């Protein structure tokens, strides 16, 4: 520009390209914002529908009594209890195994070794296996081969295999997020790898590990396929007396009364769905709260 | 240098070569570090200084690609023949370029090493913590908040905390790797005063990016360049210009580096 050579101050002049860039920026922001808002719509619709159609069914009695009249009336108590059983036992199996595997992969496994790569690949692929395949695996392995029969144990173990990769990945990621400098400092002062893990790495990775585990609760509670062949029953007139018994479960109960049983009043399946959704929501909210609480105590 | 001489040395290094895969970080370094000496190592980046320190306390074990050849004698014994590498490391305190306050309380930061060594007696640990913090010139600043987080201290305080942690090991050797890189000048001078005191009780290996820091503190200084030890000598002589290699002179004078 000619005026630059002058001694008096030059006012900045926006050139056409600047204006165009600014317009594109505005447009992109609006489009991306709309997409983000769109995301909320299905969630909001689901919640509204469930609340509107399901809430008439919800009562203390609904939660604490058995289904009656061929599951066209009554409550969901055995299914609710069954889901708690299944989730608890599956976590009991998948958490120690998954966290231990994650610690090994993150802290001990040589990063460029073929075995490490095989384990990582297996973990990723296991996470991608459809749940119906897990169901068939559970049927073959736990029900038939290990002779556990169709039982809470077999169904829980199937769920555990399904949730295992996510527990491993979540734990691995939170272990990796602990700065390497902390490990170096400990090793240099003569700490063994295990002492370093126990005193410094694990306490600081606990937040992420816990969150990962809690999110698995909602996943395990909502799955139908893996438990359908391995331990969950359509209807049982009594509660399971131990882990070798079959049980009812919320997800399967919902599937059954929506598709297999004629003449169920509309509010019952919606009520079951609302309860299931409520459990998932409460668990997730707890997980988010825990994450925020522990993050506020973050130490570096 | 003969065998008998090396017996009186705290650390004695012969033909130390360090490789990472095909890259040679350090080649054929031989030098002796007597007890109660401040031994300075100067040299530009990538001259092998940190790799050198890592070889002394066998941190090469923790790095899959790092290969060490030659011998490092600690109290006359090859560090690779130490059956318990953790015992070796606990005799060597390390201070890093960037201060590492572990995400523990100030107290626990300093108490960690004694606890790892199996000391459980509370009053004994109390005493070690106080003594280490005093020796690191940090006690007066933190004595009223020992339970607050070490990682929330200022950079200079964290670096002194790191030194206190190293001292809690009761080390025979203290290795400092460019400790003043993230520390303000005033704190640097305080730590330098601390090091002058510590020299009475231990051997100090001071890797530094500040040539004048070596001049102020080190009894003898080695100049590393491109993985080779170009020159070792009395610091005073080196800085007085009595060098055998022109590159040493140029580096000390600040002509490169």
Residue A217: pLDDT band (50, 70, 90) is: confident
> Please, what sign has the CA dihedral across residues A60, A64, A68, A73?
positive
- Is the confidence at residue B162, as pLDDT, over 50? yes
Instruction: Give pLDDT, residue B129.
Output: 96
Q: Which of B59, B93, B101 sits opposite A187 (nearest CB)?
A: B59
Residue A178: pLDDT band (50, 70, 90) is: very high
In chain A, alpha helices (H): 16-54, 60-64, 77-103, 114-128, 131-138, 152-176, 180-188, 193-196, 202-222, 225-228, 250-259, 267-296
Give domain status of residue A130, yes or no: yes
Q: Which of A111, A190, A203 sits opposite B116 (nearest CB)?
A: A190
- Is the confidence at residue A179, as pLDDT, over 50? yes
The stretch B212-239 carries a mean pLDDT of 93
Residue B5: pLDDT band (50, 70, 90) is: very low
Instruction: Give pLDDT, residue A74.
Output: 86
The domain tally of chain A equals: 2
Give domain status of residue A81, yes or no: yes
Distance between CA atoms of B121 and B118, rounded to whole angstroms? 9
Give domain status of residue A1, yes or no: no
Same domain for A120 and A25? no
Same domain for A18 and A161? no
A188 in B contact zone (CB under 8 Å) = yes
CA A238 remoteness from chain centre: 30
Residue percentage of chain A with pLDDT more than 70: 95
| DSSP helix/strand/coil, A247 | strand
Give domain status of residue A22, yes or no: yes
Strand order across the B66-74 sheet: B23-34, B9-20, B66-74, B77-78
The stretch B47-59 carries a mean pLDDT of 92
> Please, what sign has the CA dihedral across residues A35, A39, A42, A47?
negative
Give domain status of residue A229, yes or no: yes
Query: How far from each other are the two terminal CA atoms of chain B, in whole angstroms?
Result: 30
- Enter the tokens of residue A201: 């790495």
Residue of chain A whose alpha carbon sits nearest to that of B99:
A181
Instruction: Give pLDDT, residue A295.
Output: 78
Q: Average pLDDT of chain B?
A: 90
For B24, phi then psi, to 5°, come to -95, 115
Task: Test A110 with B90 for CB contact under 8 angstroms.
Answer: no
Residue B238: pLDDT band (50, 70, 90) is: very high
All residues of chain A having their beta carbon less than 8 Å from the beta carbon of residue B88 are: 190
Phi-psi region of A147 (alpha: psi -120 to 50; beta: other; left: phi over 0): left
The residue range of the domain holding A123 is 60-296
Is the Cβ–Cβ distance between A240 and A85 less than 8 Å? yes
pLDDT one-digit tens code per residue, A191-200: 999 999 999 9
All residues of chain B having their beta carbon less than 8 Å from the beta carbon of residue A177 are: none
pLDDT one-digit tens code per residue, A99-128: 999 999 999 988 888 998 998 898 888 888
All residues of chain B having their beta carbon less than 8 Å from the beta carbon of residue A192 are: 86
Identify the CATH number of the domain in which residue A225 sits.
Answer: 1.10.3720.10
Residue percentage of chain A with pLDDT more than 90: 53
Residue found by looking up tokens 């062949």 in the block: A229
Min CA distance, B77 vs chain A (Å)? 18
The stretch A170-199 carries a mean pLDDT of 93
Task: Test B93 with A187 for CB contact under 8 angstroms.
Answer: no
Say which residue, A4 or B210, is predicted with more confidence: B210
Q: Please indicate, yes or no, whether the overall pTM of this predicted structure exceeds 0.80.
A: yes
Mark out chain B residues that contact chain A at CB-CB < 8 A: 57, 59, 62, 64, 86-94, 96, 98, 100-104, 112-113, 116-117, 149, 151-152, 162, 165-166, 169
Same domain for A245 and A137? yes
Task: Test B86 with A192 for CB contact under 8 angstroms.
Answer: yes
- Is the confidence at residue A9, as pLDDT, over 80? no
Q: What is the DSSP string of chain B?
A: --HHHHHTEEEEEEEEEEEETTEEEEEEEEEEEETT-EEEEE--TTSSHHHHHHHHTTGGGG-TTEEEEEEEEETTEEGGG-S-HHHHHHTEEEE-SS----SSBHHHHHHHHHHHTT---HHHHHHHHHHHHHHTT-HHHHTT-TTSBGGGS-HHHHHHHHHHHHHTT--SEEEEESTTTTS-HHHHHHHHHHHHHHTTTSEEEEEES-HHHHHHH-SEEEEEETTEEEEEEEHHHHHTT--SSHHHHHHHTTS--
Give domain status of residue A4, yes or no: no
Instruction: Give pLDDT, residue A208.
Output: 85
| DSSP helix/strand/coil, A277 | helix
Same domain for A199 and A88? yes
Give domain status of residue A205, yes or no: yes
- Is the confidence at residue A6, as pLDDT, over 80? no
Instruction: Give pLDDT, residue B4.
Output: 43
pLDDT one-digit tens code per residue, B110-159: 999 999 989 989 999 999 999 999 999 999 999 999 999 888 888 889 99
What is the residue extent of each domain of chain B?
A: 98-170
Residue of chain A whose alpha carbon sits nearest to that of B170:
A189
Tell me which residue of A158, A197, A172 sits closest to A120, measured CA to CA. Answer: A172
Is the Cβ–Cβ distance between B217 and B195 less than 8 Å? yes
- Is the confidence at residue B2, as pLDDT, over 80? no
pLDDT one-digit tens code per residue, B96-105: 998 888 889 9
Same domain for A132 and A26? no
Distance between CA atoms of B156 and B186, rounded to whole angstroms? 9
Distance between CA atoms of A159 and A135, rounded to whole angstroms? 8
Neighbouring residues of A136: CB distance < 8 A, sequence distance ≥ 6:
A229
Is the Cβ–Cβ distance between B90 and A189 less than 8 Å? yes
Q: Which of A187, A199, A299 sits opposite B62 (nearest CB)?
A: A187
Instruction: Give pLDDT, residue A7.
Output: 54
- Is the confidence at residue B9, as pLDDT, over 90? no
Same domain for A174 and A38? no
Phi-psi region of A34 (alpha: psi -120 to 50; beta: other; left: phi over 0): alpha
Q: Residue A242 gets which letter from DSSP?
A: S
Neighbouring residues of A3: CB distance < 8 A, sequence distance ≥ 6:
A10
Q: Which of A111, A190, A195 sits opposite B87 (nearest CB)?
A: A190
All residues of chain B having their beta carbon less than 8 Å from the beta carbon of residue A191 are: 86, 112, 116
Q: What number of CA atoms fall less than 13 Å from residue A84's CA on the CB side?
A: 10
Q: What is the DSSP string of B124-138?
A: HHHHHHHHHHHHTT-
- Is the confidence at residue A85, as pLDDT, over 80? yes
Residue A134: pLDDT band (50, 70, 90) is: very high
- Enter the tokens of residue B200: 């009475």
pLDDT one-digit tens code per residue, B178-207: 998 888 899 899 999 999 989 889 999 999
Is the Cβ–Cβ distance between A63 and A77 less than 8 Å? yes
Distance between CA atoms of A197 and A188, rounded to whole angstroms? 14
Measured N-to-C along each axis, helices A267-296 and A77-103 cross at an angle, to the nearest 10 degrees, of 30
Instruction: Give pLDDT, residue A207.
Output: 84
Distance between CA atoms of A60 and A115, rounded to whole angstroms? 53
- Is the confidence at residue A181, as pLDDT, over 60? yes
Same domain for A70 and A199? yes
Instruction: Give pLDDT, residue A94.
Output: 94
Min CA distance, A55 vs chain B (Å)? 47
Same domain for A118 and A30? no
Distance between CA atoms of B188 and B107, rounded to whole angstroms? 23
Residue B6: pLDDT band (50, 70, 90) is: very low
Give domain status of residue A286, yes or no: yes
Instruction: Give pLDDT, residue B254.
Output: 86
pLDDT one-digit tens code per residue, A229-259: 898 888 888 888 888 988 999 999 999 999 8
Min CA distance, A53 vs chain B (Å)? 50
């Amino acid at each position: 520009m000619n005026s630059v050579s002058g001694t008096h101050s030059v006012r900045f002049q926006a050139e056409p390209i600047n204006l165009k860039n600014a317009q594109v920026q505005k447009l992109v922001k609006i489009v991306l914002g709309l997409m983000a808002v769109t995301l909320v719509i299905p969630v909001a619709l689901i919640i509204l529908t469930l609340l509107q159609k399901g809430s008439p069914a919800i009562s203390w009695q609904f939660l604490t009594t058995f289904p009656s009249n061929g599951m066209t009336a009554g409550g969901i108590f055995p299914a609710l209890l069954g889901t708690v059983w299944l989730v608890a036992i599956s976590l009991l199996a998948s958490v120690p195994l998954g966290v231990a595997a994650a610690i090994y992969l993150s802290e001990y496994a040589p990063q460029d070794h073929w075995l490490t790569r095989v384990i990582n690949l297996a973990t990723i692929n296991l996470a991608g296996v459809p749940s119906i395949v897990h169901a068939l695996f559970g049927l073959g392995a736990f029900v038939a081969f290990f002779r556990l029969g169709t039982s809470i144990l077999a169904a829980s173990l199937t769920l555990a295999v399904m949730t295992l990769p996510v527990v491993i990945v979540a734990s691995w990621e939170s272990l990796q997020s602990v700065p390497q400098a902390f490990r170096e400092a400990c090793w240099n002062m003569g700490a063994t790898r295990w002492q370093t893990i126990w005193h410094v790495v694990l306490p600081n990775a606990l937040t992420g590990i816990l969150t990962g585990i809690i999110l698995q609760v909602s996943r395990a509670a909502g799955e139908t396929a893996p438990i359908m062949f391995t331990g969950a029953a359509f209807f049982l007139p009594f509660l399971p007396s131990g882990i070798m018994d079959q049980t009812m479960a919320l997800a399967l109960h919902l599937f059954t009364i929506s598709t297999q049983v004629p003449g169920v009043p509309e509010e019952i399946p919606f009520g079951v769905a609302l309860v299931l959704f409520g459990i998932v929501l409460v668990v997730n909210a707890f997980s988010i709260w825990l994450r925020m609480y522990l993050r506020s105590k973050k130490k570096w | 240098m003969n065998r008998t001489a090396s017996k009186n040395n705290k650390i004695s290094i012969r033909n130390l070569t360090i490789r990472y895969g095909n890259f040679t970080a350090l080649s054929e370094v031989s030098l002796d570090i007597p007890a109660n000496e401040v031994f300075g190592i100067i040299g530009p980046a990538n001259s092998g200084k940190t790799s050198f320190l890592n070889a002394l306390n066998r941190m090469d074990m923790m790095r899959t690609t790092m290969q060490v050849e030659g011998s490092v004698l600690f109290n006359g014994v090859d560090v690779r023949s130490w059956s318990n590498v953790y015992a070796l490391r606990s005799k060597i305190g390390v201070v890093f370029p960037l201060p590492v306050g572990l995400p523990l309380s100030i107290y626990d930061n300093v108490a960690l090493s004694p606890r790892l060594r199996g000391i459980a007696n509370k009053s004994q640990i109390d005493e070690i913590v106080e003594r280490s913090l005093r020796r690191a010139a940090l006690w007066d600043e933190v004595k009223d908040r020992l339970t607050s987080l070490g990682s929330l201290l200022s950079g200079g305080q964290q670096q002194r905390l790191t030194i206190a942690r190293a001292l809690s090991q009761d080390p025979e050797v203290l290795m400092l790797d460019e400790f003043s890189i993230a520390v303000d000048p005033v704190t640097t001078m305080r730590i330098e005063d601390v090091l002058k005191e510590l020299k009475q009780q231990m051997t100090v290996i001071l890797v530094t990016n500040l040539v004048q820091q070596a001049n102020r503190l080190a009894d003898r200084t080695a100049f590393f360049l491109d993985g080779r030890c170009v020159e070792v000598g009395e610091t005073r002589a080196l800085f007085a210009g009595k060098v055998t290699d022109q590159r040493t002179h140029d580096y000390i004078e600040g002509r490169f580096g």
